Amino acid sequence: MWRKHFSSSGGVSSARTLKEKKWDALVIGGGHNGLTAAAYLARSGLSVAVLERRHIVGGAAVTEELIPGFKFSRCSYLQSLLRPSIIKELELARHGLKLLRRSPSSFTPCLDGRYLLLGPDKDHNYSEISKFSKRDAEAYPRYEEQLENFCKFMDPLLDSPTPETLQGASSFKAQMKNKLNKSTFWAQRLRQAVSLGQKEMVDFMDLLLSPASKILNNWFESEILKATLGTDAVIGTMASVHAPGSGYVLLHHVMGETDGDRGIWSYVEGGMGSVSLAISNAAIEAGATVLTNAEVSKLMIKDSGTVNGVLLADGTEVHSSVVLSNATPYKTFMELVPENVLPEDFVRAIKYSDYSSGTTKINLAVDRLPKFQCCKLSHPDAGPQHVGTIHIGSESMEEIDSACQDAINGLPSRRPVIEMTIPSTLDKTISPPGKHVINLFIQYTPYKPSEGSWEEPAYRESFAQRCFRLIEEYSPGFSSSIIGYDMLTPPDLEREIGLTGGNIFHGAMGLDSLFLMRPVKGWSNYKTPLRGLYLCGSGTHPGGGVMGAPGRNAAHVVLQDMKEEPLN
């Protein structure tokens, strides 16, 4: 179904048609950000073509039926961060996006027979946390309120380009406009800061700069609660909960919402590919062309240093004066851009950015739900413990840190940190009746283990079985329920999905790689040293996750540039 739908979307069915037309804009990569950028550009009347290397659009937000009858959200697996402005402006509900709210949202089983079950119900949360600490139960609503206030402060930053300094030669008019825009931007932020108050601003800076462990230790005393919350601070990274700046990653993962409710993560009916499909449908309706099996091998650059289009792997030349790359910054500048056309300091900054990853994703087809020893809730099928994110192997922050230290030493974690989700508990479209799809998001796995290789089948199988055995400690019999599985280690994520180093964010989300520093200092506004080439992926502001903000913001920058100085 997916292959058929996208093989010739938008009416283009041959390389000849691509070649004969000069497009207003080309988008390299049909991930959700590339599709978002294409939708906004097409809605403004531009002729736009999206060129996707794989047979299916979506990038890391993709649904694939790898085992007959089981549809996997192969990489990303939950939705919350997609910006409300995009859902509304592109009318994604009309284009098929259906969100399935999770309640409860989090389940952490303990080996001592206890468990922690959290969700949007404040009274229920109080009761659950009180099992471990009355003090924490009273503090938890204040903690959530503070994070919500910080998210409101961040909202305007997410939905707008950065106030970057003008690059290169520009007219007096452009310089004055840039100064005015920057002054307006910082004045608005200052008003926000004053409204927030000095104490809250100091707390906000503390969150940004501190290790997540420090933040959580200041709030809570219960290890199980701190560990449950702490996983959000390290997900997708190679960092420990003790790493300075991990507090920001914690905040990043609570910035989202579902249908207006903050911090609520949802499944998507049909899997995460339905997010990309809805955005693609919006782009196609607006007039964009979306092509699969169209791999870009090189950017074509004029002698003047201006983009002239792209060269496909099959030799087809596709011409445009504007190209947006949804590929990672490394892939874009180190592999797609010809050599010796970029400034040396820029190339050096891109080359030595942090693309490390500790993430492995395992997608499972199972014939029954796991039964957790600690949770005797009587439900014939899916109980509340199955609906949300199930935290395995993270009963304390020290366990998370130990798992991280193994990977820093070149070893896949001896006791991995696993986030298990079972979307088929709410989504009946992705598995046969009575059977289920399980996602395991696993940390930490080094890109290049010091002993062994991910290319060795026995080594891969050994690690998969290690993860299954850990789950067995909490849910005996789990391994015998497995029908089949698909495993993506960091090198697999790089090769299959195009994620440099296997990094799900297109690059680390440390404080040195955010806002005006993302992807590199001096080039945070989606523009690049090559005229007509823009970035629109997660490697740009405001960062990773299925957010769409980089694509939307980049499209607005392109449209503004074309309005001020049309590219020929």
Q: Is 16 exposed, middle or buried (0-12, 13-18, 19+ CB in 10 A)?
A: exposed
Distance of alpha carbon 187 from alpha carbon 461, whole angstroms: 55
- 296-301 and 307-312 as β-strands: parallel, antiparallel, unpaired? antiparallel
| pLDDT at 25 exceeding the cut of 90 | yes
pLDDT at 566: 64
pLDDT at 394: 86
Q: What is the pLDDT of residues 529-559, one digit of tens each?
A: 999 999 999 999 999 999 999 999 999 999 9
pLDDT at 205: 92
| pLDDT at 168 exceeding the cut of 50 | yes
SS3 state at 42: helix
309 vs 252, higher pLDDT: 309
pLDDT at 10: 42
| Rounded mean pLDDT, 33-48 | 98
* Stated pTM of the model: 0.94
Kindly give the residue spans of alpha helices, DSSP state H, lying in 69-171.
Answer: 84-89, 122-130, 134-158
SS3 state at 188: helix
pLDDT at 8: 39
SS3 state at 162: coil
Asked which of 187-196, 221-230, 473-482 is least confident by mean pLDDT, the reply is 187-196
The per-type count for the chain, helices as H runs and strands as E runs, is 19, 22
Distance of alpha carbon 115 from alpha carbon 100, whole angstroms: 24
DSSP conformational letter for 166: P
The DSSP bridge partners found for residue 323 are: 26, 533
Residues written for the chain:
568
Q: What is the pLDDT of residues 277-315, one digit of tens each?
A: 999 999 999 999 999 999 999 999 998 889 999 999 999
Q: What is the pLDDT of residues 81-100, one digit of tens each?
A: 999 999 999 999 999 999 99
pLDDT at 362: 98
Confidence of residue 7 (pLDDT cuts 50, 70, 90): very low
Number of other CB atoms surrounding residue 85 within 10 Å:
14
Distance of alpha carbon 78 from alpha carbon 490, whole angstroms: 19
Distances (CA, A) of 473 to 55, 112, 250: 39, 11, 28
CB 210 within 8 A of CB 247: yes
Q: SS3 string of 210-273?
A: CCHHHHHHHHCCCHHHHHHHHHHHHCCCCCCCCCCCHHHHHHHCCCCEECCEECCCEEECCCCH
Q: Which two tokens stand for residue 357?
A: 């990853």
| Rounded mean pLDDT, 36-56 | 97
The answer for residues whose C-beta is within 8 angstroms of residue 35's C-beta and 6 or more apart is 27, 50, 57, 276, 279, 280, 283, 290, 551
Report which secondary-structure segment, H or E, holds 499.
none
Residue entry with tokens 């056309």? 341
The DSSP bridge partners found for residue 227 are: none
Confidence of residue 261 (pLDDT cuts 50, 70, 90): confident
Distance of alpha carbon 471 from alpha carbon 67, whole angstroms: 22
CB 430 within 8 A of CB 348: no
Pick from 405, 427, 423: nearest CA to 415: 405
Buried b (16+ CB within 10 A) or exposed e, 387-426: bbbbbbbbbebebbbbbbebbeeebbbebbbbbbbbbbbb
Q: What mean pLDDT, rounded, does the chain reach?
A: 92
pLDDT at 15: 60
Q: Which two tokens stand for residue 392?
A: 């395995």
Q: Which two tokens stand for residue 153?
A: 């402060």
| Rounded mean pLDDT, 496-506 | 95
Q: Which two tokens stand for residue 273?
A: 């590919």
* β strands within 352-460, DSSP E: 359-366, 389-392, 417-421, 436-443
Instruction: Determine the longest span between alpha carbons in the chain, in angstroms.
Output: 72
- The 296-301 sheet, strands edge to edge: 22-23, 317-320, 307-312, 296-301
| Residue 317 backbone class (left: φ over 0; alpha: ψ -120 to 50; beta: rest) | beta
